[in-house]
Amino acid sequence: MFNHKHLLKDFPILKRKINGKPLIYFDNAATSLTPNQVLTAMNDYYTKYNANVHRGIHTLSEEATEKFEAARDTVQKFIGASHREEIVFTSGATESLNLLAYCLAPRFKKGQEIIVTEAEHHSNFVPWQMLAKKQGLKLKFIPVNSPYTPSLSKRGKGGVGELDLTSYKKLLGKKTALVTVTQASNVLGSIYPVEKMVRLAQKYKAITVVDAAQSIPHIPINVKKINCDFLVFSGHKMLAPNGVGVLYGKKEFLETMPPYKTGGHMIEKVSKNHSTFAPLPQKFEAGTMPIAEVIGLGAAIEYLQKIGFKKLMAYESALTAHAIKKFGSIKGLQILGSQNSMNRLAVVSFVLSGIPSHDIASLLDEQGIAVRAGHSCAQILHEKFGISSSVRASLYFYNTKAEIDRLTKALEMIKALFSA
Amino acid sequence: MDSQLYRQEILEHYRNPQNFGKLKKSNLKAKKVNELCGDEITLQLLLDSKNKITDVKFTGSGCALSVASASLFTESIKGMSLDRVKKIKPEQVLKALKVPVSTARSKCVLLPYDAIQKILS
């Protein structure tokens, strides 16, 4: 479905050999590879119009500002936001979430509750945990169905890794101040029904946050359809460089929130006794932004749009099905998430009985295969599944079925090595 | 599969580690978690009146490298005085494995060593 000659041209890193073997990059949930088009866009900034934005009255600065703000428009259209000033550039999803935990804090009262899922990445958990501790809020967890969830046997296949929405409904109440949920698990690959979850939370006037860091590289997102108050993501998991991310927020919230970082660029007027702040989105963009990276993010989105999510999703879905089938054929291998390739990303985490994850990752690296091993920044989820770590193969559109076959073969060899 | 890192000798230490288990009596206990992977190790030392290690055992869950390293390391410090153990350099522990270890995996190999140095420092 993809022309791999073109892909190799766009992603020259794929031609690399690791330990004498062709590289297989299966660590996309950690960070994706960067195509030449994105690098060129960033290079153009440094070689053609390197200047600070919104400041200088000179040609370079005007050109830089134009490109920088064009990237904001690209993001706005990409996620279907109503207003361009609802797009705030940050350093990544982590900063977006820390900003929210900090700036929303004054709204919360002691005894109120924050609902999160057990599947959250640490970045969408620790900031809220800190806030809860500081202000006397309570954290409530939407359970994830583990293989050991007793009620699963009654539900039939496909429930592992999904959220227990019955419990979620029970957790919601008048004390609920905020619900924050990942749209896709970075370990299980499961896609969660954020639209429905937001709707349920809104009955209780709770603020809603969606972490789209894992989902946005793979599925189309429309913030108006989800109707969440906030949505965050990072650039570097969706072909963009690292150091740039987005906070989307409904205008009425962003306008009433205090600033996060203060200093240059985010002010309106500064005097000895008092400062007033710039309008949105500059209020949240203090200091010099990563200008080249923002422009790179715009180019990355354009790259994804050129492929089209329909084609991308169909291809990735076939990859997922193939990976589940192949990995599932290995005796002693347990896939952590759903075995059903529908409604899930090509993120397949697993444990191989008797062989520690880090050893598997080291041995795969010797074969040129890059995977993640450990808790993947989701210790709560691993604890729920009764394990301390797992191996994660996370794929993207530049991966192939042949690469999955090579990984399967390597895993069989590792098994043989350990049992010898 | 040919592996430079996972020689059969290392895998043998992983399968049948020396000094794995608990001591009934001990004077020192050291625990360390590898924040990278969640592996943890607990070492127990039995000392004589001159602070010489007369017995050592370890427990915990870990990758093959950390278990093999703990096996080799505990074997090597038996009979040593605590003062001598203090002077062991991390490079010596890495070298004992007789294979090149990447920076990322050095933490695994050094887990038992770091555990002991933590309580001795």
**B98-114 confidence digits (pLDDT tens):** 888 888 889 999 999 99
Question: Is residue B33 less than 8 Å (CB to CB) from chain A?
Answer: no
Q: Are A133 and A181 contained in the same domain? A: yes
pLDDT of residue A287: 96
pLDDT class for A420, splitting at 50, 70, 90? confident
Q: Which of A254, A274, A305 is the last residue of a domain?
A: A305
Mean pLDDT of all residues in chain B? 92
Encoded tokens for A241: 């460089």
Is residue A33 situated within a structural domain?
no
SS (H, E, C) chain A: CCCHHHHHHHCHHHHCEECCEECEECECCCCCCCCHHHHHHHHHHHHHCCCCCCCCCCHHHHHHHHHHHHHHHHHHHHHCCCCHHHEEEECCHHHHHHHHHHHCHHHCCCCCEEEEECCCCHHHCHHHHHHHHHHCCEEEEECECCCCCCCHHHHCCCCCCCECHHHHHHHCCCCEEEEEEECECCCCCEECCHHHHHHHHHCCCCEEEEECCCCCCCCCCCHHHHCCCEEEEECCCCCCCCCCEEEEECHHHHHHCCCCCCCCCCEEEECCCCEEECCCCHHHCCCCCCHHHHHHHHHHHHHHHHHCHHHHHHHHHHHHHHHHHHHHCCCCEEECCCCCCCCECCEEEEEECCECHHHHHHHHHHCCEECEEECCCCHHHHHHCCCCCEEEEECCCCCCHHHHHHHHHHHHHHHHHHHC
User: Least CB-CB distance to B37: which of A366, A374, A413?
Assistant: A374
Alpha carbons A280 and A258: distance in angstroms, whole number: 11
* A100: confidence class by pLDDT, cuts 50, 70, 90: very high
pLDDT score of A157 more than 50 = no
A359 and B1: CB-CB below 8 Å? no
Q: Half-sphere exposure (CA, 13 Å, Cβ side) for A217? A: 30
- What is the average per-residue pLDDT within B1-17? 89
Residues A16 and A112 in one domain: no
Contact A326/B at CB under 8 A: no
pLDDT of residue A155: 47
In this complex, do B38 and A379 lie within 8 Å of one another by their Cβ atoms? yes
Put simply, whether A409 touches B (Cβ < 8 Å) is no
Query: Residue A31 falls within a domain, yes or no?
Result: no
| Residues of chain B with C-beta less than 8 angstroms from the C-beta of A382 | 38
pLDDT of residue A221: 98
Q: What is the pLDDT of residue A158?
A: 47
Give the residue on A whose Cα is nearest the Cα of B108: A358
Say if residues B59 and B39 touch (Cβ distance below 8 Å). Answer: no
pLDDT > 90? residue A6: no
Residue A265: both structure tokens together: 């660029």
pLDDT in tens, B23-40: 999 999 999 988 777 788
Q: What percent of chain A has pLDDT over 90?
A: 88
Total residue count of chain B as it appears in this document:
121
Chain A positions touching B63 (Cβ under 8 A) are: 356-359
Q: Are residues A328 and A301 in the same domain?
A: no
For residue A398, the domain's CATH number is: 3.90.1150.10
User: What is the sign, positive or negative, of the torsion defined by CA atoms of A74, A75, A79, A80?
Assistant: negative
A289 lies in which domain range?
43-305
Report chain B residues whose CB lies below 8 A from the CB of A366.
Answer: 3-5
A161 within 8 A of A384, measured Cβ to Cβ: no
**Of A305, A323, A342, which residue is a domain's last?**
A305
A103 is catalytic: no
The tokens for A19 are 């330990």
Put simply, the answer to whether B11 touches A420 (Cβ < 8 Å) is yes
Q: How many domains does chain A have?
A: 2
Mean pLDDT across chain A: 95
Return the percentage of chain A with pLDDT > 70, whole number. 98
Q: Are residues A94 and A146 in the same domain?
A: yes
Domain CATH number, residue B46? 3.90.1010.10
Number of domains observed in the structure of chain B: 1
Phi, psi (5° rounding) for residue A17?
A: -110, 135
Residue A35 lies in a domain: no
> Do A137 and A125 share a structural domain?
yes
Residue B3 lies in a domain: no
- The pLDDT, as a whole number, for residue A160 is 86
Is A315 found in the same domain as A244? no
Sort out which chain B residues have CB atoms less than 8 A from A356's CB and list them. 37, 39, 62-64
Structural domain boundaries enclosing B106: 8-120
Q: The whole model's pTM is what?
A: 0.94
B12-33 CB burial, b ≥16 within 10 A, e <16: ebbbebbbeeebeeeebebebe
